[in-house]
């Protein structure tokens, strides 16, 4: 049986970078939109359409460019999420930020499949592992960067879509993982310091490992 893997990126340049590194079948890449809402809706639509057509996916990977916490990952490097956290989904309070679970409204963490993560780590041995934060507003000040680093000491990177893709995958009962290549360090916003070309090239270089890291897991599952 042919196993299909969905790689969901935010924008088409990321999708094109992944496709450029793919030499075999079984992996489909789609740009599903920027931000957690668009990512969840776009991924859910693709999963439902495939299921209805009798060609379901076997695993879902959120992939694309992100920013790294200084000292935790390097520009041009890779980060594999140990969990995808909706870091700004909750409420402010005089005592500090209250995440979704403390409000009693659900789980702010998108769960990464342990076996899928293990397969990807084996295929991408240079990747840093840690939490990847999903934010609707990209960090652009030192104050926010330090606050996030304190709240999430295991965080290696931030992006805008992982939790949304994880939500769609979880509701479909599919294993999920997240890969980020790093274009910049998190802190005061300095667009001139971003290295998008290096991050996109890293996506292309990592693409063959996505096949070996995800297809082996999905093929082994019933």
C-alpha 19 chain-centroid distance: 17
CA-atom Rg of the chain in angstroms: 16
Query: CATH code for 4-220?
Result: 3.40.50.1580
Q: Is the confidence at residue 48, as pLDDT, over 90?
A: yes
10 within 8 A of 196, measured Cβ to Cβ = no
More confident residue, 217 or 101: 101
85 within 8 A of 132, measured Cβ to Cβ = yes
pLDDT band at 96 (very low <50, low <70, confident <90, very high): confident
**Can you say whether residue 147 is alpha, beta or left, with left for phi > 0 and alpha for psi between -120 and 50 degrees?**
alpha
Asked which of 14-23, 28-37, 153-162, 189-198 is least confident by mean pLDDT, the reply is 189-198
* pLDDT value for 189: 87
pLDDT tens by residue, 159-189: 999 999 999 999 999 999 999 999 999 998 8
Read off the pLDDT of each residue in 21-38 and give the average, rounded to a whole number: 91
- Per the structure block, which two tokens stand in for 89? 């989904």
Q: Is the confidence at residue 49, as pLDDT, over 70?
A: yes
* pLDDT value for 220: 54
pLDDT tens by residue, 188-222: 888 888 999 999 999 999 999 888 777 666 555 54
* pLDDT value for 153: 96
Q: Which residues are within 8 A (CB) of 112 and not within 5 positions of it... i.e. 6 or more apart?
A: 81, 82, 83, 84, 166, 176, 177, 178
- Per the structure block, which two tokens stand in for 126? 């240079």
* pLDDT value for 3: 73
Q: Name the 3-class secondary structure at 146.
A: helix
pLDDT tens by residue, 105-154: 989 999 999 999 999 999 999 999 999 999 999 999 999 999 999 999 99
More confident residue, 6 or 2: 6
pLDDT band at 2 (very low <50, low <70, confident <90, very high): low
* pLDDT value for 218: 53
CA distance 45 to 55: 14
The verdict on pTM exceeding 0.85 is yes
């Amino acid at each position: 049986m042919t196993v299909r893997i969905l790689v969901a990126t935010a924008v088409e340049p990321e999708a094109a970078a992944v496709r450029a590194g793919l030499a075999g079948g079984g992996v489909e890449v789609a740009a599903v939109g920027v931000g957690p809402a668009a990512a969840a809706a776009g991924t859910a639509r693709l999963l439902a359409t495939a299921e209805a057509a009798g060609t379901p996916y076997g695993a879902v990977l959120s992939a694309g460019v992100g920013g790294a916490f200084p000292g935790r990952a390097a520009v041009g490097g890779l980060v594999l999420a140990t969990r995808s956290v909706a870091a700004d989904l909750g409420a402010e309070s005089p005592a500090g930020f209250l995440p979704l679970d403390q409000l009693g409204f659900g789980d702010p963490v998108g769960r990464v499949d342990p076996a899928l993560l293990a397969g990807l780590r084996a295929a991408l041995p240079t990747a840093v592992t840690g939490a990847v934060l999903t934010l609707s507003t990209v960090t652009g000040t030192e104050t926010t960067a330090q606050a996030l680093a304190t709240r999430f000491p295991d965080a290696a990177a931030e992006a805008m879509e992982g939790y949304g893709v994880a939500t769609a995958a979880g509701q479909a009962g599919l294993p999920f993982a997240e890969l980020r290549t790093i274009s910049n360090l998190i802190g005061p916003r300095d667009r001139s310091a971003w290295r998008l070309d290096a991050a996109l090239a890293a996506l292309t270089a990592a693409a063959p490992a996505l096949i070996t890291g995800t297809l082996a897991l999905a093929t082994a599952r019933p």
